[in-house]
């Protein structure tokens, strides 16, 4: 007589499969989902560094103010990016200010909670490490850009990045209203130079102004162009 096999009890890990997307969309202990109005500050330079923020919707601007009061824009972040990760490497205070460039939705994850998840959930850890490595590569590219590329190329690259060029899907319009002063700060030049090249890009059909800035993939030709350089004799 065949005796039917009793179904094997599933382990706790099998019952509960960790889903990073669900984690980053669900408020719970140590996690708070909040909406922010344009220009609202998520955290300010000098605040206690006790949490990270995951951007669900909108764009966030990261700025640093020097001891002499000069402000610099160091990053503009969008959906599916993190900000405030410095708390995970022991930074006691915020080194920058993060503010909403548009209406935003974020999830604030307390340091203790994010540390627990990184320790206990390999799926989330892999995703987070990939994010950190991509951010590090972006910082290195920014440094190379500042050191070796012309103002025109730096501005073209920045506009493409703001339009998410190179990510999945087609480039999107830069919906957030970004002033030429902000672009100048990020590129490392003057507002008049930014205005000059923006007009040049528009005349060439690389960008459009229709109530918002729209960036076309053809702008990539400016970044890829290899202008001849004069080499000084030794």
Q: Considering its fold, how many domains does the chain have in total?
A: 2
Do 139 and 157 sit in the same domain of this protein?
Answer: no
Q: In what order do the strands lie in the sheet with 60-65?
A: 41-43, 97-100, 60-65, 71-77
Tens of pLDDT, residues 196-224 = 999 999 999 999 876 678 888 888 889 88
Do 216 and 103 sit in the same domain of this protein?
Answer: no
Do 108 and 160 sit in the same domain of this protein?
Answer: no
**216: exposed, middle or buried (Cβ count in 10 Å: 0-12, 13-18, 19+):** middle
Domain-terminating residue out of 88, 115, 144: 144
Dihedral (CA of 47, 90, 71, 138) sign? negative
Do 154 and 93 sit in the same domain of this protein?
Answer: no
Does residue 11 form part of some domain? no
Residue 96 belongs to what domain range?
Answer: 20-144
Q: What CATH number has the domain bearing residue 77?
A: 2.60.120.10
Cα 198 from Cα 183, distance rounded (Å)? 10
Q: What CATH number has the domain bearing residue 193?
A: 1.10.10.10
Do 125 and 162 sit in the same domain of this protein?
Answer: no
Do 131 and 179 sit in the same domain of this protein?
Answer: no
Q: Which two tokens stand for residue 105?
A: 């939705």
Letter string b/e over residues 162-195, b meaning 16 or more CB atoms within 10 A of that residue's CB:
bbbbeeeeebeebbbebeeebbbbbbebeeebbe
Do 205 and 111 sit in the same domain of this protein?
Answer: no
Does residue 119 form part of some domain? yes
Do 85 and 170 sit in the same domain of this protein?
Answer: no
pLDDT band at 5; cut points 50, 70, 90? low
Does residue 231 form part of some domain? no
Do 130 and 186 sit in the same domain of this protein?
Answer: no
Question: What integer pLDDT is reported at residue 143 of this predicted model?
Answer: 84
Tens of pLDDT, residues 93-120 = 999 999 999 899 999 999 999 999 999 9
Do 214 and 178 sit in the same domain of this protein?
Answer: yes
Asked whether residue 232 carries a pLDDT value surpassing 50, the answer given is no
CB-hemisphere CA count at 13 Å for 47?
16
Do 87 and 179 sit in the same domain of this protein?
Answer: no
Domain-terminating residue out of 87, 109, 144: 144
Tens of pLDDT, residues 155-170 = 999 888 888 775 655 5
Do 91 and 154 sit in the same domain of this protein?
Answer: no
Does residue 120 form part of some domain? yes
Strand partners, 166: none
- The model's pTM is 0.74
Q: To which residue do tokens 């923020």 refer?
A: 53
How many contiguous H segments (helices) and E segments (strands) does the chain have?
8, 10
Does residue 14 form part of some domain? no
């Amino acid at each position: 007589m065949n005796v039917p096999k009793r179904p094997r009890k599933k382990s706790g890990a099998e019952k509960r499969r960790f889903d990073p997307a669900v984690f980053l969309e669900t408020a719970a202990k140590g996690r708070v989902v909040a909406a922010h109005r344009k220009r609202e500050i998520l955290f300010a330079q000098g605040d206690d560094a006790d949490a990270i923020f995951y951007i669900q919707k909108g764009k966030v601007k990261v700025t640093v103010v020097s001891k002499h009061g000069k402000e610099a824009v160091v990053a503009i972040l969008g959906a599916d990016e993190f900000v405030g990760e410095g708390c995970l490497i022991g930074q006691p205070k915020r080194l920058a200010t993060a503010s909403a460039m548009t209406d935003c939705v974020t999830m604030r994850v307390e340091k203790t909670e994010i540390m627990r998840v990184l320790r206990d959930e390999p799926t989330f850890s892999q995703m987070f490490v990939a994010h950190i490595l991509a951010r590090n590569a972006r910082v290195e590219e920014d440094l190379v850009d500042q050191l070796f590329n012309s103002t025109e190329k730096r501005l073209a690259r920045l506009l493409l990045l703001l339009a998410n060029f190179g990510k999945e899907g087609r480039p999107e319009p830069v919906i957030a209203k970004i002033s030429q002063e902000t672009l100048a700060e990020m590129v490392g030049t003057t507002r008049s130079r930014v205005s000059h090249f923006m007009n040049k890009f528009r005349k060439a059909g690389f960008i459009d102004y229709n109530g918002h800035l729209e960036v076309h993939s053809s702008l990539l030709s400016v970044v890829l162009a290899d202008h001849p350089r004069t080499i000084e004799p030794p």
